[in-house]
Amino acid sequence: MLASRFFKPCKALGAIALLCFVAACGGGGERPVPEPRTRDSARVSERPEPQIDLGDKAQVPLKDGMTAEEAAQKIHIAILLPLSGNEGQTGRALLRAATMALFDAYDPRLVLLPFDTKADYTESERVAGLAVEAGADIVLGPLLGQNVTAAGTVLARAGIPMIGFSNDQSVAAPGRYIIGFIPEGEVDRVVDYAAETGLRRFAALLPEGLYGNRVRAAFGDAVADTGSRIAAMESYPPDPDQVFEPVKRLGRYEERKKALRDEVRYLRSLNDDMTDEVANRLEAAEALEPLPFDAVIVPEGGQLLRTLAPLLPYYEIDPNKVKLLGTGLWNDESILREPPLQNAWFAAPMPEKPAALLARYKATYGENAPRLATIAYDAMALVASLARDVGVPAEYRFSAERLTNPYGFVGTDGLFRFLTDGTNERTLAILEVHQKGFAVVDAAPAAFPSFGYSLRSHRRDY
């Protein structure tokens, strides 16, 4: 069976541009803003704070087949985001992306209620309470894992489901779903594909900290599941000045250099013209002994990845002989011109739809969106899809049974589904790094297994 598709062409892009500001709920004094002009306008609200007027162009007509009475039955969707503080820029971008999906949904019943978490645990608890008071039917966000836990505890007591933007599986729970890109799934996919191509000896260069620990555990499981082995593993601190030694140790640089010197010394000790020539060639070519692995995963992104990449060949981890693997952190065009990363693989969504949405965002708001903007769009679009069935009783609209549909939902980032424990699974592609862009070398599966929830258990069956 095909997954549910919930995207429609945008009918109100002109209206989206009017959303240039958001009043921070619970922060500072109230600013006077007029009420929406019509009862059936799609609007952003901060109840019980004053509502934000989107203007006449934001009015959304009745959906086909919808009666005026049905249109009057508002569905309140709270969205909890850091709209101020250090994470404010990201939070505001996610709110804009969710608003794009709201207008694309073309449903006058949907009302978006933004609340500012300030990226703070206590504030997330507080505004979750405000969302309950405001009559939220479902909650999107927060962004950070700890804030998801804080808000989720409050919402669970009220029986309100939430879709958090975190990628931390540990904060998920029944009724508290997370839609972020889970690194465990990315690691599983790229290791599985590498093993299928014949790479069986793996190594890892991992960041210290929670993310690195999660990748380490997932990497061990994935390698074991393919019947392969881990030949080497090193960790590095989040400091560009302290990554040299871990890379050197991973490449066994000093040992291999010494082995080469010893070999050259031995050949010269034979006092033979032929062995002298061999020694000269080895010395000139710096022909170190082969590494005990043929693939290495480097789950890093941004500037630190660009620092690590040239160190690999410098310490004789030759990308022409050892396949470099990454996670979704590599889904960043700033790495395209890094020579050591050329032809490397990582797991991520098929790139066409995310690129189109991010281009729409830039055309609408005049600035680039963070890559995470697509998950906010997909979360809002999913809620709109579930709300679209006007014959479904309100208490069942966002039920666990509907949110955990095993066939999943097709979003901007491809097919995904929520599991009963609150985590998610995605079907991912394998992308290859090239100077001109990311090339798809193995497309994302078109469907999940029809007889179980675990991609790892049934990976061969889709």
pLDDT of residue 19: 31
pLDDT of residue 47: 35
Say if CB 407 and CB 6 are below 8 A apart: no
The answer to whether residue 453 sits within a structural domain is no
33 lies in the same domain as 152: yes
Q: Find, among 160, 81, 90, the residue nearest to 114 by Cα.
A: 81
85 lies in the same domain as 115: yes
310 lies in the same domain as 380: no
Dihedral angle computed from the Cα positions of residues 294, 250, 229 and 336, in that order, rounded to the nearest 10 degrees: -50
Q: Burial-class residue 28 by CB neighbours within 10 Å (0-12, 13-18, 19+).
A: exposed
Q: Burial-class residue 220 by CB neighbours within 10 Å (0-12, 13-18, 19+).
A: middle
Round to whole Å and give the CA distance between 135 and 75.
Answer: 9
pLDDT at position 408 over 90: yes
Residue range 137-163: mean pLDDT, rounded: 98
Say if CB 312 and CB 251 are below 8 A apart: yes
* Whether pTM exceeds 0.85: no
> What are the pLDDT digits (tens) for 244-297?
999 999 998 888 776 656 555 655 667 776 765 655 665 565 656 789 999 999
* 126: CB partners within 8 A, 6+ apart: 26
Range of the domain at 194: 183-252+291-348
Residue range 133-139: mean pLDDT, rounded: 97
Q: Find, among 7, 236, 240, 175, the residue nearest to 104 by Cα.
A: 7
Say if CB 81 and CB 147 are below 8 A apart: no
The answer to whether residue 262 sits within a structural domain is no
170 lies in the same domain as 38: yes
Q: Cα dist. 209→150, 157, 198 in Å?
A: 22, 32, 31
317 lies in the same domain as 387: no
pLDDT at position 143 over 60: yes
Per the structure, the count of domains in the chain is 2
List the CATH number of the domain containing 335: 3.40.50.2300
196 lies in the same domain as 334: yes
> What are the pLDDT digits (tens) for 209-250?
999 999 999 999 999 999 999 999 999 999 999 999 999 999
101 lies in the same domain as 228: no
Round to whole Å and give the CA distance between 380 and 104.
Answer: 10
- For residues 50 and 367, the model is more confident at 367
205 lies in the same domain as 92: no
Range of lowest pLDDT (50-64, 104-118, 157-171, 283-297): 50-64
pLDDT at position 21 over 80: no
* Confidence at 452, pLDDT banded by 50, 70, 90: very low
pLDDT at position 65 over 90: no
112 lies in the same domain as 243: no
pLDDT of residue 351: 96
The answer to whether residue 366 sits within a structural domain is no
What is the chain's mean pLDDT, rounded?
83
pLDDT of residue 281: 62
171 lies in the same domain as 197: no
* 305: CB partners within 8 A, 6+ apart: 298, 326, 329, 330, 335, 338
Chain centroid, CA 75 distance in Å? 27
50 lies in the same domain as 138: yes
pLDDT of residue 254: 82
Output the CA torsion sign for 175, 180, 184, 185.
positive
207 lies in the same domain as 111: no
